[in-house]
Amino acid sequence: MRAFIGIRIIPFEGIKEVLKELRKKGGIKTVEEENLHINIKFLGEISEKQAEEVKEVLKKLKAKPFNALINGIGFFPSENFIRVIFIKVISEELMKINEFIEEKLYEKGFMKEKREYAPHITLARVKRPLSKKEAGYLKEKEIKKEIRIREIELIKSTLTKQKPVYETIFKVSLS
């Protein structure tokens, strides 16, 4: 199964507005509202045995519910070469959770992520160059809200011709 560890996000008005605007533009594929999430760790193709190991790690996670700040739009890999449009997420607690999961999964034989963890919510994938005006307009959008994080999920991702379908395999409540 193709899977990742993440936090599902319920879109609020600011996110919905940006997604609506992005859908009007050609060459941009937006994420479906029901699939919005903060990725903690992309696992790729894993076996049932590996899924059980991930569940074991998530059960050992010691964290209380916490707030994360959603603050502004960013671009991957850079503003000059935009392939992904995302919303920045700021949270020290989320950084600690990622570090814990990376370390514990590495001990079980999973590969560590080479890039530094940058919490975000992907809004769209860009198939064509964005103009400076389009990028500037997006950067100016005021998206700022504190959200409460209460659960972390192991999510199976099935790619279909229409859209990816996400299914929660395991959920841990923070307490």
Residues annotated as catalytic are: 37, 120
Q: Which two tokens stand for residue 25?
A: 């533009």
- Checking phi first, is residue 118 left (phi over 0); if not, alpha (psi -120 to 50) or beta? beta
Residues ≥6 apart with Cβ < 8 Å to 68: 38, 89, 90, 91, 93, 94, 119, 146, 147, 149
CA 44/CA 1 separation, integer angstroms: 8
